[in-house]
Structure 1
């Protein structure tokens, strides 16, 4: 009887063990950060206070460094993975996380080549290595199937991953995906961004935000501070030239449900993006009114509602 009781106790103990406990200790680059990095991490944490939901931060060792992942939502709920936009970090989801995490287990991954809390130790030389890194993180998280949401460049990366792992991805939500369905169209805003490259860093950031958002005043000050500090840090923004629109055959090979949302004042996309999305086997494209490229912030309530309806 005694061995049986010991076995039962062991099973109960292991069943209650923290699945990601080994990833929760902050590494030295966080705890002993340089002055500039410490200021950025402090601003990052200030933005996290906007989430309005409980969360855990994970630091997962990978071949190329440490992946920082923020986890929220019920432990046994369906998994949703979030891929943020360029230089935006996972904190960009602050207007969306409460809605998404209500009935889903949400995993927001900081891209290792951009400002955030992930840490690059070994260089990544190709897009193939980028997708391999994401797969390594997903393997560590033990996610066999999940919904995938990507914004801007994260949308392009989400499609790249979906084309490689069709069976694992239950559905795909793309928020103003960059260079995914069409090339970025020439526009006045794009020209202004090019012109301000010769201006101060502050002017560049100001113009970039004006062209990306239909209402910059709506962006929370805490996130703006973090975003601005992030642009001043070294960023390995490589492979931008590799981000070319996918072919019709590639896009139509996607067998999972796909939702594509763009803003009506979207500098990155045009309505043809929506038209192409609607030709996919299980595709649906929509234009969100009074929204720019940052539609998840510009019209958070509408975008949240459409994402949740789609995930059902």
Structure 2
């Protein structure tokens, strides 16, 4: 029943987005050029929160340019970061200092969501998403790299990890969405979906309170960018592809995996951790206290310590 309700909700949202005015502006994510420019300006301001030196790079791929933020020592072990839905790579501002201390970090904007990557074709299938990421990994010659991913990014990271001949060394999943179980608290999380259809600052603040145990910790500059992503970006129909992985798929993951969720998480419950413990070959699970779904911001120090300890 939860699966049916979720699909119906998303379809309603997608219908609402499809009915918006056509302006002749050809962009998969944004409705018009003005809104896109406003969002990109907010993105650049949020990137100023990055507490370590970085470079921005663009990689040509079969489906459009990929935007990558690179930090950390050139001779460090390689790490890839995959952000949560509509959050973009700037979401890692509370974590990047700790993560890039010993790693060469590549934070990739997902091209079907707000960010600086740009999709030049129709919505990608799961198979095309795999091709897209692999084209980036090949560009940077990433082999035996660590992969850290949050929320929807966690689902994508798991999709990559179940592929044959993948080059992932260790996998860290921060409250991965729809990965082990369906969304735990659909009534509360549906707020985020309806925020897309009827965006307002009041609904946005309520959504933050649902997903974060400490919304006051979210920097106001980043909060502005995240709000504009929800306000301006079209609903992504590829969400319909996201469903929990089968027992067989999860058992096929033989690399070490760390799964973290918050004790007030509305996406995952301890049932998700129990399934991870049951099916993953080499896993470690942990509940972060006083944290919600946005655990990387709610309790950044505890999350950073858990990740770096696991990777070492």
- Give your verdict on TM over 0.5: yes
Separation (CA, whole Å) in 1 of partners of 2:272 and 2:63: 34
Classify the secondary structure of the residue corresponding to 1:291: coil
Normalised by the length of structure 2, the TM-score is 0.85
2:239 counterpart residue number:
240
2:158 counterpart residue number:
159
2:201 counterpart residue number:
202
Matches within 5 A, 1:270-281: 270-279=269-278, 280-281=280-281
2:199–2:231 contact (8 Å) kept in structure 1: no
Separation (CA, whole Å) in 2 of partners of 1:194 and 1:235: 11
Separation (CA, whole Å) in 2 of partners of 1:202 and 1:77: 41
Separation (CA, whole Å) in 1 of partners of 2:196 and 2:34: 27
2:302 counterpart residue number:
302
Classify the secondary structure of the residue corresponding to 1:254: coil
2:68–2:109 contact (8 Å) kept in structure 1: yes
Q: Which moved more, 1:33-42 or 1:219-228?
A: 33-42
2:255 counterpart residue number:
256
1:196–1:207 contact (8 Å) kept in structure 2: no
Q: CA RMSD in A?
A: 1.9
Aligned length: 280
1:288 counterpart residue number:
288
The question of 1:126 aligning with 2:125 is answered yes
**C-alpha deviations, 1:23-76, integer Å up to 9, x for none?**
xxxxxxxxxx94332222221111111111000100111111110000000001
TM superposition shift of 1:206: 2.0
Separation (CA, whole Å) in 2 of partners of 1:186 and 1:267: 5
1:193–1:207 contact (8 Å) kept in structure 2: no
Classify the secondary structure of the residue corresponding to 1:224: helix
2:60 counterpart residue number:
61
1:45 counterpart residue number:
44
TM superposition shift of 1:190: 3.2
TM superposition shift of 1:196: 6.5
2:196–2:230 contact (8 Å) kept in structure 1: no
Matches within 5 A, 1:72-111: 72-111=71-110
Q: Name the structure, 1 or 2, with higher relative contact order (CA <8 Å, separation 6+).
A: 2
Q: Which moved more, 1:187-196 or 1:45-54?
A: 187-196
2:73–2:103 contact (8 Å) kept in structure 1: yes
Q: Which moved more, 1:115-124 or 1:220-229?
A: 115-124
1:197–1:204 contact (8 Å) kept in structure 2: no
Runs of 4+ aligned residues of structure 1 deviating over 4 Å after TM superposition are 191-200
1:166–1:254 contact (8 Å) kept in structure 2: no
Classify the secondary structure of the residue corresponding to 1:58: strand
1:222 counterpart residue number:
221
Q: 1:50 to 1:37 in 2, by over 3 A?
A: same
Separation (CA, whole Å) in 1 of partners of 2:46 and 2:197: 30
2:82–2:109 contact (8 Å) kept in structure 1: yes
Classify the secondary structure of the residue corresponding to 1:113: coil
TM superposition shift of 1:125: 3.6
Normalised by the length of structure 1, the TM-score is 0.85
Classify the secondary structure of the residue corresponding to 1:297: helix
2:34 counterpart residue number:
35
Q: 1:269 to 1:166 in 2, by over 3 A?
A: farther
Q: 1:292 to 1:139 in 2, by over 3 A?
A: same
1:115–1:235 contact (8 Å) kept in structure 2: no
1:172 counterpart residue number:
171
Matches within 5 A, 1:8-19: none
Unmatched segments (≥5 aa) in structure 1: 1-32
Unmatched segments (≥5 aa) in structure 2: 1-31
